Structure 1
Amino acid sequence: MNGKRLASVVVDAGGTSTSWAFNYKDSTRTVIETESFHPFNFNETFFSRNRIFLKNQVTEKVPLYFFGAGMGKMENKQILSNFLQPYFSELTILTDIQGLVLSLGMDNGAIAIMGTGSVLVEILNGTIRQQIGGLGHLLGDEGSAYYFGRLVLTAYFDGQLSDNQISELRKRIDLSQKSKEELLNMKYEVARLAADLDPELFYEYHVWNIDSFFKTHFDDKIEVDKVAFVGSYAFFQRHLISKELQSRGIRMVKFIRKPIELFCDKFAIY
């Protein structure tokens, strides 16, 4: 608590972490990162920890705008609403994709989320026409940080990495006494490899990952003339993505590393 008068709270909840933007009546803002509020984390221990966080940070009842992965299911939305209701004057809970559509104000085109996981959403006349991908790390997620790590680990177990690549990989993840299947189930550790491994040493795997995203999400599935990209993996691989877009004649709207600022510009009250 800092003594300022709170005016609103805007939240971006991803699969790895959650960004809380506390907007104050003097037009200032404080952003705090916490653990992920994805529904797969929901249990009594999780809620007990976060009750303490909310009691410390939410100094008065104000509107909350919550945009999160997994909020498309009514059951998840209701559980979260029941937890948050005591702390806020009113709740708006939408999926992260719905928040992006509203914040970007795109009438037509597509939004590609490429972070820990991946999904492509086609926008037609300002509404979501179709969603491609988003099946989870075990069934897809091409073009995500996780899928990059999966490509690298698969190459390791298939004996396709160089000695230098193996040495670098062993510095970043414990490969001992674990099967390929066990490692690939370690979603966040595998996704972390996209940030931790030397990008030049593993350049070809980033190329394959981006190529896989466009083949599985665009080819014979969608025709758009512009795309906005969201997520840390997309942001750091924007040079490869831009080359692919240029070859396809698709215009890039923008690369957004973290949507919280975008959400605040649209929804924050001061």
Structure 2
Amino acid sequence: MILIADSGSTKCDWILIDRLGNQLCSQTTIGINPLNISESTIKNIILEVSEVLEKRNLIEEIHFYGAGCGTEKSNQKIKSSFRSIFNNLKLIKVEEDIIAAVHATTRTSGVIAILGTGSNCCYFDGKKIIQHAPSLGYLLADEGSGNYFGKELLKSFYLQRMPSSLAKEFKIMFGSDLESLFYNLYDLPQPNAYLASYAIFLFRHRGHPFIENLLYHGIEVFIDNYLMLYAKELENNPVHFVGSIAYYAQDIINKMLTSKGFSAKSFIKKPINNLIKYIISNEYSLQKTI
């Protein structure tokens, strides 16, 4: 059996398949970002995947794609967590979320953009991934992401820039206790995922001028600062978008791309199902060591 996990900082999708690609079970847990949480926390999250654990001795391969998995230290933290729980593994493959986005969207060259909890962008030349700028994370960048929009909503609410009708709805939905806000931001792990949880407010109030302006500005900054770094590649290659923010704001993205002479080929909310097809068609050798 093969276990596939696709994790952002907010949530992690798990799917267990057989070697023909048949889905045996699936589950969603909170996200695993090894940059923000300890190995013991990672293990506890894995232990929540109950249906998978029932078959743990039959699982031979694990393919984990995740935010924050770009360093060797993070890679080893994830692998160590899985080794402590699964006893019969012959292969563990840990890769960044940007690689999941590529594998889920295309086998040929193209530009791939992530707009989920965080944001990222790359060019895939058909063989390797090329990034003109690194992902700077939720503190320095992440424009257009759930994390970015969560911060913008919170600032506009507490600084009284949000229209009163929206502010009333925002307070009903999230409360206004600063002590609780600061506790979640500064005392608990994964503050980026916490900030991104506010983004749902945007899509429940689409059509309101304030919300539309907020979305337009955030996506415009992402396109201008990051996607346009790949303007040369976009002249001859399609662009694919991955992530819930991109999926629910694709009308805005399409409008902005059209104004620049480009167009999006696809929008994928969750890569996990497409990753099944990729892994089965590119079966890794079981002789590889873990």
Short-chain TM bin? 0.7 to 0.9
CA distance in 2, matches of 1:247, 1:171: 38
CA distance in 2, matches of 1:209, 1:99: 24
Q: Is the 8 A contact 1:207 1:240 kept in 2?
A: yes
Residue number among 184, 192, 198 corresponding to 1:187 in the alignment = 192
Q: Is the 8 A contact 2:29 2:48 kept in 1?
A: no
2:51 aligned with 1:60: no
- The unaligned stretches of length 5 or more in structure 1 are 1-6
The aligned counterpart of 1:44 is 40
The aligned counterpart of 1:174 is 175
2:194 aligned with 1:200: no
Residue identity opposite 1:13 in structure 2: S
Give TM-score scaled by structure 1 length: 0.85
Range that drifts further, 260-269 or 140-149:
260-269
The aligned counterpart of 2:70 is 72
Q: Which has the higher strand share?
A: 1
SS of the residue corresponding to residue 137 of structure 1 reads: helix
> Kindly tell me: are residues 45 and 163 of structure 1, through their superposed partners in 2, closer, same or farther at Cα, counting changes over 3 Å?
closer
**How many residue pairs align between the two structures?**
264
Spell out, residue by residue over 1:198-241, the C-alpha distance to the aligned partner (whole angstroms, 9 max, x if none). 22232221111111211221346643142100000100001111
The aligned counterpart of 1:256 is 268
Q: Is the 8 A contact 1:20 1:31 kept in 2?
A: yes
CA displacement at 1:187 relative to structure 2: 3.0
Q: Give runs of aligned pairs for residues 222-241 of structure 1, distance below 5 A.
A: 222-223=231-232, 224-225=234-235, 226-241=238-253
Residue identity opposite 2:99 in structure 1: Q
2:5 aligned with 1:11: yes
- Structure 1 vs Structure 2 CA RMSD: 2.7
Q: Is the 8 A contact 2:9 2:192 kept in 1?
A: no
Q: Give runs of aligned pairs for residues 107-186 of structure 1, distance below 5 A.
A: 107-132=108-133, 134-178=135-179, 186=191
Spell out, residue by residue over 1:109-164, the C-alpha distance to the aligned partner (whole angstroms, 9 max, x if none). 31100001101112235322215352122211111112112222222344322110
Q: Is the 8 A contact 1:67 1:94 kept in 2?
A: yes
SS of the residue corresponding to residue 264 of structure 2 reads: strand
CA distance in 1, matches of 2:262, 2:80: 43
Residue identity opposite 1:15 in structure 2: S
CA distance in 1, matches of 2:29, 2:65: 14
CA distance in 1, matches of 2:134, 2:155: 21
> Kindly tell me: are residues 91 and 254 of structure 1, through their superposed partners in 2, closer, same or farther at Cα, counting changes over 3 Å?
same
Range that drifts further, 142-151 or 193-202:
193-202
Range that drifts further, 124-133 or 221-230:
124-133
CA displacement at 1:179 relative to structure 2: 10
- The unaligned stretches of length 5 or more in structure 2 are 284-290
Residue identity opposite 1:47 in structure 2: K
The aligned counterpart of 1:3 is none
Q: Is the 8 A contact 1:116 1:146 kept in 2?
A: yes
Give TM-score scaled by structure 2 length: 0.80
CA displacement at 1:35 relative to structure 2: 2.2
Residue identity opposite 2:121 in structure 1: L
CA distance in 1, matches of 2:75, 2:15: 20
The aligned counterpart of 1:81 is 79
CA distance in 1, matches of 2:138, 2:45: 27
SS of the residue corresponding to residue 155 of structure 1 reads: helix
Residue identity opposite 2:39 in structure 1: N
> Kindly tell me: are residues 81 and 190 of structure 1, through their superposed partners in 2, closer, same or farther at Cα, counting changes over 3 Å?
closer
Q: Is the 8 A contact 2:39 2:81 kept in 1?
A: no
CA distance in 1, matches of 2:163, 2:44: 47
